[in-house]
Amino acid sequence: MKNYGNIGILDIRNAKKENLKDIKIGNVGIIIQSPDNPSLAGEISAGNIGKVIEIPPEGKVLKGDQVIDSSFLEGFEEPVYLLVLGKVRFTEDVTPPLLEKAISGLNVLYYGAVKGGPGIICEESLAPVLKKKIKETPTSIQTFSRGTLIWEGPVNFNSSSLDHLEENTSLMIIGSVIFSEDLDPDALLEKTSKIQVTGKVTTPEELITPLKKIISQPSIEKWEIIPAGFRLISEDLKLNQSSLENYQKENLYIKGSLQLGKEISPEQFKASIARLQVNGDIIAPEQLKTSIVSLTGDKKNLLTYPHGLYLVEGEEEMYPEDFEFLPEIFTLIVKGILKLDPRVEASDLHSRVDYLDNFGIISGTPAQIAALRARKRTDTGLLQKTGEKANDEKTTEEGTTTGNIGYLKL
């Protein structure tokens, strides 16, 4: 018996009925089966199955976002059924007759569409053909007119970006865009006649009026407005006592997270930051809590550390030797993956970690996990006992067990 954890997409078009009876699966997001054998999915032993779709055995599965041009389509001797596991863009050289001839059916599974993003992007003459070709799962189509300039996002649109544009350019940005405060509104309107954006628009408040004259997408829910007078920080920001001296009564709008050093005093913080908006977490020493809340108005994304700090953002392993160099008492914040060496004493974790904020994955022995669980303050992540890691393969009395898999073809 072969046991699997969770499988995102399971392709059983070429599987044998007798082989499926020897497989047990936790949950399956999508099962791909052949229309020649529509009852095959019923042979699978699984917890929950999200969706079953049918495509021919000779159909092609394209994983990830795709850019399809004429040369790709001309390579098919016979019409082909395409299943795209991502969004798809057809280039301008693809014509309606070529599309009609090359594709027998199209299914686009793009989960960004849940947030309003288009699953298909194409020149407007292709839309009627594509609507006839789309099978099973409806997906939104965003079109552009012939001659439109395409930019792949994310895009930082500043004054130098205008130098690359001719007058009255029709522009499509696939993804998100950040408009810079140094843009001249008159120059922007002169160089662009129309801008389409498939993702989020981030802009200073001062540019809203000219941008709304030329941006046809997205809807208002996709606009992120930087209040007038604020300086935009588009990434995570880490400040210590020295780097904070570069700010004098600044109004900061931070799209990522903010981390403040232990040595920063409330007096220095107030002298440097006048107003503050942070989209991500704020990680700060306990003595700055009152000052930060007075600027932000709430503490829902504020993580304070009374003593020391140990922040894990990538993938790390903690060894007993690490405790010689860590603060005597520290707050543990995990945003990535932390593996605890079995030699790390559970008693050291319990006595030296004052708070645990877990947004990632921590794996360790049962005793280590129990010690950390007693210190948890925020736990939206996963605490795994050694041997329960999602990508482990192990043998049990019921056969071989494999962990979670994104895509599996049987």
Verify that 217 and 245 share a domain, yes or no.
no
Domain's final residue, options 110, 144, 178: 144
Question: Given a cut of 70, is residue 392 above it in pLDDT?
Answer: no
Verify that 208 and 189 share a domain, yes or no.
yes
Helical ranges in 22-136 per DSSP H: 70-74, 96-102, 127-133
Verify that 67 and 140 share a domain, yes or no.
yes
pLDDT per residue over 170-187, tens digit each? 999 998 899 999 999 999
Domain's final residue, options 305, 323, 342: 305
State pTM to two decimals.
0.75
Q: Is residue 6 in a domain?
A: no
Q: Would you place residue 37 in the very low, low, confident or very high pLDDT band (cuts 50, 70, 90)?
A: confident
Q: Would you place residue 397 in the very low, low, confident or very high pLDDT band (cuts 50, 70, 90)?
A: very low
Domain encompassing residue 237 = 231-305
Q: Would you place residue 12 in the very low, low, confident or very high pLDDT band (cuts 50, 70, 90)?
A: confident
Q: What is the mean pLDDT of the chain?
A: 88
Q: Would you place residue 218 in the very low, low, confident or very high pLDDT band (cuts 50, 70, 90)?
A: low
Residue 167 neighbours by CB distance under 10 Å: 8
What pLDDT, on a 0 to 100 scale, did the predictor assign at position 407? 81
What pLDDT, on a 0 to 100 scale, did the predictor assign at position 31? 87
Q: Is 49 within 8 Å of 93 (Cβ atoms)?
A: no
DSSP state, 8?
E
Verify that 321 and 348 share a domain, yes or no.
yes
Domain's final residue, options 280, 305, 330: 305
Q: Would you place residue 265 in the very low, low, confident or very high pLDDT band (cuts 50, 70, 90)?
A: very high
The whole-angstrom separation of Cα 96 and Cα 199 is 27
Residue from 312, 294, 305, 343 nearest 327 by CA: 305
Percentage of the chain with pLDDT > 90? Answer: 65
Verify that 210 and 251 share a domain, yes or no.
no
Verify that 296 and 322 share a domain, yes or no.
no
Q: Is 318 within 8 Å of 339 (Cβ atoms)?
A: yes
Ranges 17-26, 274-283, 315-324: which has the least confidence: 17-26
Q: Is residue 365 in a domain?
A: yes
Residue 10 vs residue 338, higher pLDDT: 338
Domain count for the chain? 4
Q: Is residue 402 in a domain?
A: no
Residue 218 vs residue 368, higher pLDDT: 368
Q: Is residue 31 in a domain?
A: no
Verify that 208 and 235 share a domain, yes or no.
no
Verify that 284 and 246 share a domain, yes or no.
yes
Strand, helix or coil for residue 362? strand
- Which residue has 């329960």 as its token pair? 388
What angle (nearest 5°) sits at the alpha carbon of residue 218, between those of residues 216 and 222? 150
Q: Is residue 388 in a domain?
A: no
Verify that 105 and 120 share a domain, yes or no.
yes
The whole-angstrom separation of Cα 78 and Cα 10 is 26
Average pLDDT over residues 92-106: 95
Average pLDDT over residues 209-221: 75
What pLDDT, on a 0 to 100 scale, did the predictor assign at position 393? 45
Reduced 3-state DSSP string for 253-283: EECCCEEECCCCCHHHHHHHEEEEEECCCEE
Question: Given a cut of 90, is residue 253 above it in pLDDT?
Answer: yes
Verify that 67 and 134 share a domain, yes or no.
yes
Which residues face 384 on adjacent strands? 363
Q: Is residue 26 in a domain?
A: no
Question: Given a cut of 90, is residue 137 above it in pLDDT?
Answer: no
Verify that 180 and 114 share a domain, yes or no.
no
The whole-angstrom separation of Cα 133 and Cα 122 is 14
pLDDT per residue over 324-365, tens digit each? 999 999 999 999 999 999 999 999 999 999 999 999 999 999
Question: Given a cut of 50, is residue 46 above it in pLDDT?
Answer: yes
What pLDDT, on a 0 to 100 scale, did the predictor assign at position 389? 43
Ranges 8-12, 301-305, 315-319, 327-331: which has the least confidence: 8-12
Ranges 114-118, 356-360, 377-381, 389-393: which has the least confidence: 389-393
What pLDDT, on a 0 to 100 scale, did the predictor assign at position 223? 87
Structural element, H or E, at residue 44: none
Verify that 133 and 64 share a domain, yes or no.
yes
The whole-angstrom separation of Cα 286 and Cα 210 is 43
Average pLDDT over residues 389-400: 45
Cis peptide before 218 (omega within 30 of 0): yes
Q: Is residue 237 in a domain?
A: yes
Q: Is residue 76 in a domain?
A: yes
